[in-house]
Amino acid sequence: MSKLRPPQRRPITLTDIARGCGVSRATVSLVLRESPLVRDETRERVKAELRRQNYIYNRAAANLRRQTSSTIALVLNDLANPFFAEFASGVDDHLTQAGYVTLLGQSNESLERERRLTHSLLEHAPAALILSPVEAPEELALLEQLSSQLPVLLFNREPAEVTQRSWDLLQFDNYRGAYLATRHLLAQGHRQLAFYGGYRHQRPHRERLAGFTQALQEAGLSFDPRLCIEFQPRRTLASEHVQQLFAHGLQPTGAVCYNDIVALGLIGGLKSVGRQPGVDFALTGFDDIYEAGICTPALSTVQTRPRECGRQAAIMILERLANPGSDPACHVSPVEFTIRDSSPPPTESNHS
Amino acid sequence: MSKLRPPQRRPITLTDIARGCGVSRATVSLVLRESPLVRDETRERVKAELRRQNYIYNRAAANLRRQTSSTIALVLNDLANPFFAEFASGVDDHLTQAGYVTLLGQSNESLERERRLTHSLLEHAPAALILSPVEAPEELALLEQLSSQLPVLLFNREPAEVTQRSWDLLQFDNYRGAYLATRHLLAQGHRQLAFYGGYRHQRPHRERLAGFTQALQEAGLSFDPRLCIEFQPRRTLASEHVQQLFAHGLQPTGAVCYNDIVALGLIGGLKSVGRQPGVDFALTGFDDIYEAGICTPALSTVQTRPRECGRQAAIMILERLANPGSDPACHVSPVEFTIRDSSPPPTESNHS
DNA sequence: CTGAAAGCGCTTACAG
DNA sequence: CTGAAAGCGCTTACAG
């Protein structure tokens, strides 16, 4: 068999071009950077030689010399999740347009992977990091370390309690999302509602809970803390905590769930306690992941427009690079509520 | 307002570490690279200093000096498409594991964007390029140029006619996929089937068409070239070409579509000619994109497992880097056919 | 307007 | 076992 690939030839450098048209490397560099210092005739000769030799600029070398960077690192939980994929697509589109290249990484919800990954990405000297952090208590320490090394934009989640942020933050209008979801259920006539999933020490949880209680209050209802069921927002845990909804002799007829994953877990779990989701129990989600639209019953949920959010993230991080000294930014992305008719009115249950 | 961010301090370099513990830069470098040349006591002193100063290795500088690369470029049509997102996820997982970082880019089905993007990515000196090329005749020239600069792995599509490939190729078992789809429709009793969408000059099209005709032949049927309708595989075009199915007085009762997008377009278009997809017209897709499972009627289609495919792509490209001189590889990813009950038996139509 | 020289952060023969 | 020196491909004052 013949070897088709040409021997991996040494890449063409500035020196080759300079030699090729009898000028110095400095002059070629000036031509590349469109400097007005070079005479027209010389510029054309150099440009012709660049084309002739099929020159490729070595931006890594240039970045090293100039102490600049043309890459931005993007670390997400899981690219196969359409929510993050759309976000990544928006980020990358905008960064490309601005002349940056995206360094990609997936943490798969593992703090250890996130740690290794960010470390490995930092070795490539990105100008900044866009990170959707893992939910773990130790996350905070990692974040503080990272944000001391380069500008960091946090997307979607902020771990634990922070007083003095040193990173930018892009999150959804959690308050309004939960408020809208709660109003939806209240409009169906529900009087006894739970807030299901997540931990109160997380900022998004607190904000969603605030929207929930506000809607209750406006409806003349008071918030019963026993109906705020806290657990890590995972699908299996959401199934397993279903009994707590009906503990203390309480009979909620619906739940505002922390997010879609939790709602989907709850849909599964309700059956085990003899409830039929969408028939005698109403619930809402948050995120509008694909599954929310296609599960049975379909899930009414809060829509987050991840792609636009990605563009926004890119805009924010470029802003930060242009303006390194300014105060940490916190952008709240708007949300909408999508009704999918999975929220039945309350049934005077035969469970009581 | 106080400026919280500490002044963007100069990154720590080898020189700082060397100075910090009274050795030369060379020694620090040797420690970093786990060389056995360094005395244990010295190694520990250096390691402590590395930790103390929170040193971050500058891999770009090292790559420059060593003439190596630790990045691989990945260019896809659209990351928001779950098919590509899952593929990207598989690629990135495996590359990360192997110590590489993924440089990401989206061509959005535009040759011009693909050209600009690959050029910009090459400036970052990736070790190789994984590319899902745009469908355009001029693509071939770009590809030949790219593959003369670095190892290229083509995913999913190969443009036009090529005799001597200089890139690796990863594609699906197009022949078998189309064969299975056709057999499915034949088993329902269809005798007059069309092959719908794509261009015959594309390799995947030819292979799928071959699977189609093979299945027909095995069923004792002959292929009617008038029922091979060619057009660029886009949703709108698939809607618009629907009349051609019934031209020449032909009355096909089903169609094997080039891919899911085409099938979805056809589902839309059939209504305009008084046919009801899934009722009096049967069709199959190729790819198993999300929409195929949730559209109405649900689409029976060929499943491609994009995530596993992504891992395979990463494996192939690392193989290529380890073995630059070997002949171009061509890997065919297996497929399965997913029946979703959208393929009615033929109705003796009242159209004839 | 052009060239010689120094330097970005690293690595790697080569002396000692 | 450790250090001085050269060099990866680029940029940028500084002379001329």
For the CA of B118 and the C1' of C13, the distance in angstroms is 36
Task: Give the CA distances from residue B343 to residues B264, B270, B338, in Å, rounded to whole numbers and listed in that order.
Answer: 14, 14, 11
Is the C-beta atom of A13 closer than 7 angstroms to strand D?
yes
The string of pLDDT tens digits covering residues B22-73 is 888 899 999 988 888 888 888 999 999 999 999 999 999 999 999 999 999 9
**In this structure, are residues A117 and B96 in contact, taking their beta carbons and an 8 Å threshold?**
yes
Per residue of chain A (352 residues), what is the pLDDT tens digit? Answer: 333 334 456 789 999 999 888 888 899 999 988 888 888 888 899 999 999 999 999 999 999 999 999 999 999 999 988 889 999 999 999 999 999 999 999 999 899 999 999 999 999 999 999 999 998 888 999 999 999 999 999 998 887 667 788 899 999 999 999 999 999 999 999 999 999 999 887 888 999 999 999 999 999 999 999 999 999 888 899 999 999 999 988 999 999 999 998 999 999 999 999 999 989 999 999 988 877 887 778 899 999 999 999 999 999 999 999 999 899 999 999 999 999 876 678 875 444 3
Closest approach of chain B CAs to the CA of A26, in angstroms?
A: 19
Tell me the whole-structure pTM to 2 decimals. 0.86
User: Which of A104, A130, A147 should be substituted to probe chain B, the one whose Cβ sees the most B Cβ atoms within 10 Å?
Assistant: A104
Radius of gyration of chain A (CA): 27
Closest approach of chain A CAs to the CA of B245, in angstroms?
A: 32
Task: Give the CA distances from residue B185 to residues A101, B17, B196, B325, in Å, rounded to whole numbers and listed in that order.
Answer: 46, 70, 14, 45
Of B58, B93, B122, the CB nearest to A56: B122
Residue B334 corresponds to which tokens in the numbers above? 């297996």
Cα–Cα distance between A345 and A187 in angstroms, integer?
Answer: 9
- Report chain A residues whose CB lies below 8 A from the CB of B124: 59-60, 70-71, 101
Of A5, A57, A90, the CB nearest to B166: A5
- What are the structural domains, with CATH classification, of chain A? 14-57 (1.10.260.40), 69-172+306-332 (3.40.50.2300), 174-304 (3.40.50.2300)
Is the C-beta atom of A38 closer than 7 angstroms to strand C?
yes
User: Which of A65, A101, A107 should be substituted to probe chain B, the one whose Cβ sees the most B Cβ atoms within 10 Å?
Assistant: A101
Q: Which of A182, A208, A125, A197 is nearest to A343 (CA)?
A: A182
User: Which of B79, B116, B147 should be substituted to probe chain A, the one whose Cβ sees the most A Cβ atoms within 10 Å?
Assistant: B79
Residue A327 corresponds to which tokens in the numbers above? 């105060």
Is the C-beta atom of B29 closer than 7 angstroms to strand C?
yes
Residue A8 corresponds to which tokens in the numbers above? 């991996």
> Which run of H or of E encompasses B174?
helix B174-187
Q: How many CB pairs under 8 A join A and B?
A: 168
Residues 14-33 of B near strand D (Cβ < 7 Å)?
22-27, 30
Contact between chains at A79 and B88 (C-beta distance less than 8 A): yes
If you count DSSP H runs as helices and E runs as strands, how many of each does chain A have, helices first?
14, 12
Cα–Cα distance between B95 and B314 in angstroms, integer?
Answer: 6
